[in-house]
Amino acid sequence: MLEIIRQPWPWYVAGPLIGLTVPALLILGNKSFGISSSLRHICAMCIPAKIPFFQYDWKKELWNMFFVLGIFFGGIIAAAFLANPAPMQLNPALIKELSIYGITDFSSLVPVDLVSWDKLFTLPGFIMMVGGGFLVGFGTRYAGGCTSGHAIMGLSTLQWPSLVATVCFMIGGFIMANWILPFILML
Protein backbone atom coordinates (compact mmCIF):
# COMPACT_ATOMS: atom_id res chain seq x y z
CA MET A 1 0.00 0.00 0.00
CA LEU A 2 2.79 2.41 0.90
CA GLU A 3 4.42 1.79 -2.48
CA ILE A 4 1.23 2.91 -4.24
CA ILE A 5 1.19 6.17 -2.28
CA ARG A 6 4.86 6.85 -3.13
CA GLN A 7 4.31 6.73 -6.87
CA PRO A 8 3.05 9.70 -8.89
CA TRP A 9 -0.68 9.37 -9.36
CA PRO A 10 -2.08 9.60 -12.87
CA TRP A 11 -4.27 12.55 -13.76
CA TYR A 12 -7.38 10.40 -14.02
CA VAL A 13 -7.06 9.51 -10.31
CA ALA A 14 -5.69 12.74 -8.82
CA GLY A 15 -7.95 15.02 -10.89
CA PRO A 16 -11.26 13.51 -9.80
CA LEU A 17 -10.09 13.41 -6.17
CA ILE A 18 -9.36 17.13 -6.32
CA GLY A 19 -12.60 17.71 -8.20
CA LEU A 20 -14.64 15.87 -5.59
CA THR A 21 -13.29 18.24 -2.94
CA VAL A 22 -15.48 21.02 -4.34
CA PRO A 23 -18.89 19.35 -3.93
CA ALA A 24 -17.79 17.83 -0.61
CA LEU A 25 -16.94 21.27 0.80
CA LEU A 26 -20.14 22.79 -0.59
CA ILE A 27 -22.44 20.00 0.58
CA LEU A 28 -20.86 19.37 3.98
CA GLY A 29 -20.33 22.94 5.08
CA ASN A 30 -21.16 25.49 2.38
CA LYS A 31 -17.41 26.26 2.18
CA SER A 32 -15.28 27.33 -0.79
CA PHE A 33 -12.01 25.67 -1.74
CA GLY A 34 -9.01 27.98 -1.85
CA ILE A 35 -5.78 28.62 -0.02
CA SER A 36 -5.00 32.32 -0.48
CA SER A 37 -7.65 33.48 1.98
CA SER A 38 -5.85 31.66 4.80
CA LEU A 39 -3.22 34.44 5.00
CA ARG A 40 -6.01 36.92 5.65
CA HIS A 41 -7.37 34.67 8.40
CA ILE A 42 -3.92 34.41 10.01
CA CYS A 43 -3.52 38.19 9.94
CA ALA A 44 -7.01 38.68 11.38
CA MET A 45 -6.15 36.29 14.22
CA CYS A 46 -2.71 37.71 14.99
CA ILE A 47 -2.90 41.44 14.25
CA PRO A 48 -4.86 43.30 16.94
CA ALA A 49 -4.90 46.57 14.94
CA LYS A 50 -8.21 48.03 13.84
CA ILE A 51 -7.59 47.54 10.13
CA PRO A 52 -11.03 47.26 8.46
CA PHE A 53 -9.88 44.49 6.06
CA PHE A 54 -9.14 42.25 9.05
CA GLN A 55 -12.26 43.09 11.05
CA TYR A 56 -14.52 40.10 10.50
CA ASP A 57 -15.42 36.90 12.33
CA TRP A 58 -12.39 34.81 11.39
CA LYS A 59 -13.49 32.06 13.79
CA LYS A 60 -16.07 30.98 11.21
CA GLU A 61 -13.15 30.25 8.86
CA LEU A 62 -11.10 28.25 11.36
CA TRP A 63 -11.68 25.10 9.29
CA ASN A 64 -9.52 26.70 6.59
CA MET A 65 -6.60 26.97 9.02
CA PHE A 66 -6.82 23.24 9.78
CA PHE A 67 -6.95 22.59 6.05
CA VAL A 68 -3.76 24.63 5.51
CA LEU A 69 -2.04 22.98 8.49
CA GLY A 70 -2.96 19.61 7.00
CA ILE A 71 -1.35 20.61 3.71
CA PHE A 72 1.77 21.84 5.53
CA PHE A 73 2.23 18.76 7.72
CA GLY A 74 1.20 16.47 4.88
CA GLY A 75 3.98 17.99 2.79
CA ILE A 76 6.50 17.44 5.58
CA ILE A 77 5.40 13.82 6.02
CA ALA A 78 5.49 13.20 2.27
CA ALA A 79 8.96 14.73 1.92
CA ALA A 80 10.36 12.84 4.91
CA PHE A 81 8.76 9.43 4.51
CA LEU A 82 7.14 9.09 1.10
CA ALA A 83 9.73 10.66 -1.20
CA ASN A 84 10.36 8.69 -4.37
CA PRO A 85 14.14 8.06 -4.53
CA ALA A 86 14.10 7.69 -8.31
CA PRO A 87 15.42 10.65 -10.31
CA MET A 88 12.91 13.13 -11.69
CA GLN A 89 11.61 12.06 -15.08
CA LEU A 90 11.76 14.97 -17.49
CA ASN A 91 11.25 15.26 -21.20
CA PRO A 92 14.64 15.05 -22.96
CA ALA A 93 13.79 18.19 -24.98
CA LEU A 94 13.25 20.13 -21.72
CA ILE A 95 16.53 18.85 -20.28
CA LYS A 96 18.34 19.97 -23.44
CA GLU A 97 16.70 23.41 -23.37
CA LEU A 98 17.42 23.96 -19.67
CA SER A 99 21.06 22.92 -20.11
CA ILE A 100 21.48 25.95 -22.40
CA TYR A 101 20.82 28.09 -19.31
CA GLY A 102 23.17 26.07 -17.10
CA ILE A 103 20.41 24.11 -15.35
CA THR A 104 21.61 20.53 -15.15
CA ASP A 105 20.98 19.34 -11.57
CA PHE A 106 17.58 17.66 -11.36
CA SER A 107 18.31 15.65 -8.21
CA SER A 108 15.61 17.48 -6.25
CA LEU A 109 11.95 18.31 -6.72
CA VAL A 110 13.01 21.70 -8.12
CA PRO A 111 16.23 22.27 -10.07
CA VAL A 112 18.99 23.06 -7.56
CA ASP A 113 20.66 25.27 -10.19
CA LEU A 114 17.55 27.43 -10.18
CA VAL A 115 16.15 27.43 -6.63
CA SER A 116 18.58 27.28 -3.69
CA TRP A 117 19.90 29.56 -0.95
CA ASP A 118 23.01 30.26 -3.04
CA LYS A 119 20.92 31.27 -6.04
CA LEU A 120 18.74 33.59 -3.93
CA PHE A 121 21.62 36.05 -3.71
CA THR A 122 22.12 36.27 -7.47
CA LEU A 123 20.19 38.68 -9.69
CA PRO A 124 18.19 36.00 -11.56
CA GLY A 125 17.50 34.12 -8.33
CA PHE A 126 16.38 37.25 -6.52
CA ILE A 127 14.13 38.27 -9.43
CA MET A 128 12.51 34.84 -9.60
CA MET A 129 12.17 34.00 -5.91
CA VAL A 130 11.56 37.39 -4.26
CA GLY A 131 10.11 39.31 -7.21
CA GLY A 132 8.08 36.31 -8.34
CA GLY A 133 6.79 35.73 -4.81
CA PHE A 134 5.70 39.35 -4.55
CA LEU A 135 3.96 39.23 -7.93
CA VAL A 136 2.17 36.00 -7.03
CA GLY A 137 0.97 37.50 -3.74
CA PHE A 138 -0.08 40.77 -5.37
CA GLY A 139 -1.79 38.98 -8.24
CA THR A 140 -3.63 36.66 -5.88
CA ARG A 141 -5.00 39.59 -3.91
CA TYR A 142 -5.79 41.62 -7.06
CA ALA A 143 -7.57 38.67 -8.72
CA GLY A 144 -9.54 37.91 -5.57
CA GLY A 145 -8.09 34.43 -5.19
CA CYS A 146 -5.39 32.01 -6.22
CA THR A 147 -5.18 29.61 -9.13
CA SER A 148 -6.68 26.73 -7.15
CA GLY A 149 -9.55 28.86 -5.88
CA HIS A 150 -10.47 30.22 -9.30
CA ALA A 151 -9.64 27.23 -11.53
CA ILE A 152 -11.08 24.53 -9.27
CA MET A 153 -13.77 26.18 -7.18
CA GLY A 154 -14.71 29.15 -9.33
CA LEU A 155 -15.02 27.29 -12.62
CA SER A 156 -16.97 24.44 -11.06
CA THR A 157 -19.51 26.92 -9.70
CA LEU A 158 -19.68 28.69 -13.08
CA GLN A 159 -18.34 32.05 -11.93
CA TRP A 160 -17.52 34.37 -14.82
CA PRO A 161 -14.68 36.21 -12.97
CA SER A 162 -13.01 32.86 -12.29
CA LEU A 163 -13.08 32.00 -15.98
CA VAL A 164 -11.46 35.34 -16.81
CA ALA A 165 -8.87 34.90 -14.04
CA THR A 166 -8.05 31.32 -15.12
CA VAL A 167 -7.60 32.35 -18.75
CA CYS A 168 -5.31 35.18 -17.59
CA PHE A 169 -3.33 32.73 -15.41
CA MET A 170 -2.79 30.48 -18.42
CA ILE A 171 -1.78 33.33 -20.72
CA GLY A 172 0.55 34.73 -18.04
CA GLY A 173 2.12 31.31 -17.48
CA PHE A 174 2.70 30.88 -21.22
CA ILE A 175 4.29 34.33 -21.53
CA MET A 176 6.46 33.75 -18.45
CA ALA A 177 7.66 30.28 -19.47
CA ASN A 178 8.35 31.10 -23.11
CA TRP A 179 9.43 34.75 -23.18
CA ILE A 180 10.32 36.17 -19.76
CA LEU A 181 11.99 33.21 -18.03
CA PRO A 182 14.54 32.61 -20.81
CA PHE A 183 15.47 36.30 -20.62
CA ILE A 184 15.92 36.15 -16.82
CA LEU A 185 17.97 32.94 -17.05
CA MET A 186 20.34 34.61 -19.52
CA LEU A 187 21.22 37.35 -16.98
- Please indicate whether residue 53 or residue 131 has the higher confidence score (pLDDT): 131
Q: Is the pLDDT confidence value at 3 over 80?
A: no
Q: Is the pLDDT confidence value at 56 over 90?
A: no
Most confident of 48-52, 154-158, 163-167: 163-167
pLDDT in tens, 105-148: 888 778 888 888 888 999 988 998 999 989 988 888 888 888 88
Q: What is the model's pLDDT at position 160?
A: 94
pLDDT in tens, 139-150: 888 888 888 889
Q: For residues 142 and 7, give the distance between their C-alpha atoms in angstroms, rounded to a whole number.
A: 36
**38, 53, 43: which is closest to 140 by C-alpha?**
38
Who contacts 5 (Cβ-Cβ below 8 Å, separation ≥6)?
82
Q: Is the pLDDT confidence value at 45 over 90?
A: no
- DSSP codes joined into one string, 120-166: HTSHHHHIIIIIHHHHHHHHHHHHTS-HHIIIIIIHHTT-HHHHHHH
The neighbour count for residue 181, using CB atoms within 10 Å, is 16
**133, 91, 82, 86: which is closest to 108 by C-alpha?**
86
> Which sequence spans correspond to the domains of the chain?
1-83, 115-187
